[in-house]
Structure 1
Amino acid sequence: MINFKHYSEDAFTLYKDAVERKTGHGKDGLKRIEEKVKSAYDSYDSAFGQKHVHTLLPSDLFSEEEKELLEGMFDSDNKIVRTIRKWIDANNNRTYLNRCPYCTLNAANTTEHILPKSFYEEFAVHALNLIPCCSECNSKKGDTFKDRSGNPLFLNFYYDILPKKQYLFVDLSFDGKGVVNFNYRLDNINHIDVRLFYLICRHYEKLDLLKRFKTKAISEYPEIENSLRAFWPHGNIDAFMANLKMKALLDAKSYGYNYWKVVLYLALADSNDYKAYLDGIKKRR
């Protein structure tokens, strides 16, 4: 998963500029509620600063007609959304460009609302309430963002800083046909903050990430085994394992030690069982 730098300019100014670009009745209605929107934005900014956006309640300041106007401000291809996405792209690590922070598996082909616009129409285009996301995570996330106890279900990639210590692991196994299998799991053996770890667990569970990582690993593993062919002329499996580990450590500098592929490569490189599995392949050649 990926932390993003958040939009650092004034979100309300961005909103007002978007209203000014509108015409007709809609613009007039939005201009009339500008002070109420400013009050709502101030509340959001305060909660954001305290890392408690999930505690905000939907505003009771707006009529149903006003809510429709506010929700109608959002369109994935309108200028305000494009401006926010462009800012995020320009101010974050290029490695992360167009990658979904929720899963790191897919392209971020949608713009997700941290607080759902169907309940929080006043934040439909608040820059700090919008984040790149893939359509799969967007669909799985839905409009539910906290549990019955009020705890957030998902990481906020603007302020929930991901730990550098490893918490994602993968166990290797070999079936009766000698095929390598992968089972991802979460484990707090490195003692990261307990509240953060439980939030990570909720995030993974709601987005079905462990299963999705396994599916991705299975589909991409043949590339790893095929790359072994370059080492066959010398029969040097140790060199292959060392190369695999070096690649994992280099990738970890860009993606972190909890990136699903880094975790996979490290597990393979450090596994004596996997080395024996490769020895078996070599002997059958």
Structure 2
Amino acid sequence: MKTLTALPHNPAYLDRYVSIRDIKHKKTKAPLVAAHALLEARYEAYAQAIDRGNLGGLSKNDKAIELRDFLRSCYNVSTQPLKDLKKAIKDAQPKRLLKYCPMCGTTIPGTFDHYMPAISFPEFSVHPLNLVPCCAKCNSTKDDDWLCAAGKRQFLHAYSDQVPDVQFVSVTLHENHTGSAVGAAFALLRPAGVPNQQWDLIDTHFRRLKLIDRYDERGNDEVAEILSDCQTFLEAGGQQVRTFLRKRAEDRAAVYGRNHWIAVLMGAMWQHPNFEDWLGVF
């Protein structure tokens, strides 16, 4: 997993909101125009919370909640400026990165999650840093439950939380007694040197989204897919199949991060002493 690229501030985030607001019907637009100073202050509060690493401490605003229906309509009702905003967010990401949901790394990101839940923070319904491209499963699992009972964040913020560039997703490969099948079992292992607060957030993100279970569910099929690709490489005249798979693993890690589960799986496979034997089976 990798941190997403924040949308550039030109045009300003508040100006993007205004472009969406101003296309609304008068009944919706009028109270939002009257509350412009409130939105300006709340956007500044969001920016400060990110700068201080204190998103979890950003309190709800009663006046914004009173305008919830009007503010949420900026996102819930599709308009061209909203479509442009969503496209701009996706276009800002490096190529291929959004092939997978940035929250789980397993499926296509076909929706957007409001990191600060729109039910409680409707003023951020179209804030570019509050819209995270993700899959429907991650969106529905996270839902509005972004804080634990102790008031701590439970999910990584895709734009501001820096994932440490150290290995913390691992996989163990299992062969059956005949060597005719290979399985994969993933685990989350804390590396040395990662601060408690940072690790706690990574750990809860994985646990709440059940990522290790999701990797395990897909692991066996992915092993077979990888071996099939390697077999095709050999049948086409390729040589040094370990090098072929190593380079694929490195490419995956470069694009999606060293802890992307497929990069981890490929890395374990090409380094396994029985790797060539598996190619004779699959």
Output one character per residue of 1:47-105: Cα deviation in whole Å (capped at 9) or x when no partner.
122122221121012463x2211122212743343222222233221121353110122
- The 3 A distance-change label for structure 1 pair 145 and 47 is same
Q: Which runs of 5+ in 1 are unaligned?
A: none
Determine which structure has more spread, i.e. the larger CA radius of gyration.
Answer: 1
Distance 2:18 2:255 in 1: 37
Structure 1 stretches of 4+ with a deviation exceeding 6 A read none
Residues 16 and 85, structure 2, Cα contact 8 Å, conserved in 1: no
Residues 98 and 132, structure 1, Cα contact 8 Å, conserved in 2: no
Q: Counterpart of 2:186 in 1: which secondary structure?
A: strand
Distance 2:277 2:178 in 1: 15
Distance 1:255 1:122 in 2: 31
Residues 103 and 137, structure 1, Cα contact 8 Å, conserved in 2: yes
- The 3 A distance-change label for structure 1 pair 31 and 153 is same
| Shift of residue 12, structure 1, vs aligned partner | 1.3
Matches within 5 A, 1:1-285: 1-9=1-9, 10-62=12-64, 64=66, 66-75=67-76, 77-97=78-98, 99-176=100-177, 178=179, 179-229=181-231, 230-231=233-234, 239-272=240-273, 274-275=274-275, 278-279=276-277, 282=280
Under a length normalisation based on structure 1, what TM-score does the superposition of the two structures give? 0.88
Residue 242 of structure 1 aligns with an amino acid whose one-letter code is T
Residue 279 of structure 1 aligns with an amino acid whose one-letter code is D
- The 3 A distance-change label for structure 1 pair 165 and 74 is same
Distance 1:214 1:175 in 2: 16
The count of corresponding residues between Structure 1 and Structure 2 is 278
| Shift of residue 19, structure 1, vs aligned partner | 1.7
Residues 89 and 128, structure 2, Cα contact 8 Å, conserved in 1: no
- The 3 A distance-change label for structure 1 pair 76 and 253 is farther
Q: Which runs of 5+ in 2 are unaligned?
A: none
C-alpha RMSD of the superposition: 2.5
Q: Percent identity?
A: 25
| Shift of residue 175, structure 1, vs aligned partner | 3.4
Residue 214 of structure 2 aligns with an amino acid whose one-letter code is R
Residue 174 of structure 1 aligns with an amino acid whose one-letter code is E
Distance 1:36 1:109 in 2: 31
| Shift of residue 225, structure 1, vs aligned partner | 2.3
Under a length normalisation based on structure 2, what TM-score does the superposition of the two structures give? 0.88
Deviates more, 1:261-270 or 1:73-82: 73-82
| Shift of residue 217, structure 1, vs aligned partner | 2.2
- The 3 A distance-change label for structure 1 pair 222 and 14 is same
